[in-house]
Structure 1
Amino acid sequence: AAVVRPVGNAVDAVTDAPGARRRAERLQRENQRLRDQLRSARIDQGKSAQLDRLLGAAGLGGYRIVAANVISVGQGLEDTVTIDAGSGSGIRPDMTVMTGDGLVGRVTRVGPATSTVLLATDVNSSVGARLEDSKEIGFVQGRGRRGLGGGRTPMRFQLLDANAPLRVGQRLVTLGSQGERPYVPGVPVGTVERIDAPAGGLTRTAYIQPFVHFTGLDVVAVVVAPPKTDPRDAVLPPSPTPSAPAPPAAAPGASP
């Protein structure tokens, strides 16, 4: 890392000397250059960490990916972002998009150097999903990012078997589409945070906290080749270890 010495105090020291204005302007420009350099270094470091997580997830899942940057956010009714990779990088419509944390969405439109991604939060998005350590499946549906809590708005999960076990804290991964497009299997989706009371229907409804922070998307990956075998739960991070219960409090007046 470059060693940066503060030069701001030097501005006051030269204001009364001959040519002070030119020296002050030069020092101010140098200050700005150093600030920009430090800001760029922080951004590059953040992108590097995101890319490391992406590569780790792709390796665990057996996905071949093309990394890309989010360059704009859609302003229309759909929840979309634009990325800086297109057909020239091997991107095609109906490919899975993910981060190192989990599912982002699917590619809908492709240009030579950019692509449009429909986010999993969009109200028209429906993703087949499977409960962790289970064969129970259902569909995760978007509810929209805007006005519903920002980047981690809970998504709706319809469990196809209303009688299947379902508990808060269970995690979901993508089931995988027929032909593995638009969704490849095994991509982490989110965690069950709330379950509706049974309504006597054929399905059961829960709400999922997504792993991805959709309003903070930066570095993403498009899966350009699916895994040779279903990775099942391999891409999920290790389950958190439950903390041990606290020991009971001593009764008043009890001797130590």
Structure 2
Amino acid sequence: MALDTRPPSNKAPVRRTGASREPERDAGRPARSLVVALVLASAALMVVDKAGGDSSPVDPVRRVVGEVVGPVQAGVSAVVRPVVDLPGAVRTNASLRGDVKQLEAENADLRNQLAKAGYDDQRLAELEGLRAVAGDLGYALLPARVIAIGPAQSFSSTVTLDAGSDAGLHPDMTVVAAEGLVGRITSVTAHTATVLLIVDDTSSVGGRIGENMELGFVRGHGSLGTDDRLEMELADRNVVPKVGQQIVTWGSEGGSPYVAGVPIGTVGKVYESLRETSYRAVITPGVDFTALDLVGVVVPSGTRGRVIEADGSLR
């Protein structure tokens, strides 16, 4: 045998990379024959399934696959659905928040209307009462609202009205409410008027009592919201007042400061003074002086402004 005596070559042996990399590259791929077989099998199953009509031989397999795969699909769908629906949910929540704000605003408006409805009804009832009083008395009335009560430190019972000299008001005008006599104006500004209430301890009003219209004087006790605020002393000491009798004003000359025929109140209690051999009647006023709102000032007919005429019409 002949020996190779040539010196070794420094050249590295040539590697055939193509042949060595193909198995690595195709390691994760199925063989072509397997792919062809799967395609042919799928086609065969489709043909068999279609040929079978309603009773396809593939139905049992389909049912088994559905029973196995169905729960898995449902579980995956339950997990994935919230993520998929998230953008729509965000949009929906934003819309709902807007609807909630709108509904809250509408509810607040309805509550305000409902709360105000009672006040509006009361104001309308008071206005209708003043119209009735104007018709009964035969005097024109200028409606005004009570906007303030006199301070306690003033030691007087007064209220302030939202009308003054600009509306034609002046001192010694009679002020009434739908229920009866309120008091008289003592001072005015351009836009306000101060009214001395008949319950003030400096107030004295001439009154008539009962069907016989006996004369007397109704005096105040200077307090609001308490009992026994008005008392009446009769001119005839032999006359015995009776509980429930009504007292009205007898009126002043020229209707100032008080016009005639305005209800003051009713007799609530009767006391006998043994020393003076006379009777004293405690009067329950018709007006609630702690809840005054709309009142009417007796004014001459034809006074400018919004006035309730003697016939009850409002102009």
1:23 aligns with 2:99: yes
Gaps of at least 5 residues in structure 2 are: 1-91, 302-315
1:120 aligns with 2:214: no
Counterpart CA distance in 2 for 1:130 and 1:19 is 71
Q: Deviation per CA, 1:189-218, whole angstroms, max 9, x where unpaired?
A: 011111111424275311000111111111
Bigger drift between 213-222 and 69-78 goes to 69-78
- The structure richer in helix per residue is 2
Following TM superposition, by how much is the alpha carbon of 1:182 offset from its aligned partner in structure 2, in angstroms? 0.8
Following TM superposition, by how much is the alpha carbon of 1:154 offset from its aligned partner in structure 2, in angstroms? 3.7
Q: Aligned AA for 2:143? A: A
State how many pairs are aligned: 208
Q: Measured at CA, do residues 177 and 202 of structure 1 come closer, stay the same or move farther in structure 2, by a change above 3 Å? A: farther
Q: Which residue among 148, 155, 175 is the counterpart of 1:97? A: 175
- Residue pair 1:161, 1:202 contacting (<8 A) in 2 also: no
- Name the SS of the counterpart of 2:208 in structure 1: strand
Counterpart CA distance in 2 for 1:209 and 1:154 is 8
Superposition TM-score, scaled by structure 1 size: 0.75
Q: Which residue among 246, 255, 259 is the counterpart of 1:184? A: 259
- Residue pair 1:161, 1:204 contacting (<8 A) in 2 also: no
1:57 aligns with 2:122: no
- Residue pair 1:97, 1:105 contacting (<8 A) in 2 also: yes
Following TM superposition, by how much is the alpha carbon of 1:19 offset from its aligned partner in structure 2, in angstroms? 4.2
Q: Measured at CA, do residues 225 and 176 of structure 1 come closer, stay the same or move farther in structure 2, by a change above 3 Å? A: same
Q: 2:289 is matched with which residue?
A: 214
- Name the SS of the counterpart of 1:196 in structure 2: strand
Q: Percent identity?
A: 44
Superposition TM-score, scaled by structure 2 size: 0.62
Q: 1:234 is matched with which residue?
A: none
- Residue pair 2:240, 2:279 contacting (<8 A) in 1 also: no
Q: 1:170 is matched with which residue?
A: 245
Following TM superposition, by how much is the alpha carbon of 1:140 offset from its aligned partner in structure 2, in angstroms? 0.7
Bigger drift between 18-27 and 102-111 goes to 18-27
- 1:1-256 matches, cutoff 5 A: 17-76=93-152, 77-146=155-224, 148-149=226-227, 153-201=228-276, 203-225=278-300
- Residue pair 2:146, 2:295 contacting (<8 A) in 1 also: yes
Structure 1 consecutive aligned stretches of length 4 or more whose deviation exceeds 4 Å: none
Counterpart CA distance in 2 for 1:202 and 1:65 is 42
Q: How large is the RMSD of aligned CA atoms in angstroms?
A: 1.9
Bigger drift between 196-205 and 164-173 goes to 196-205
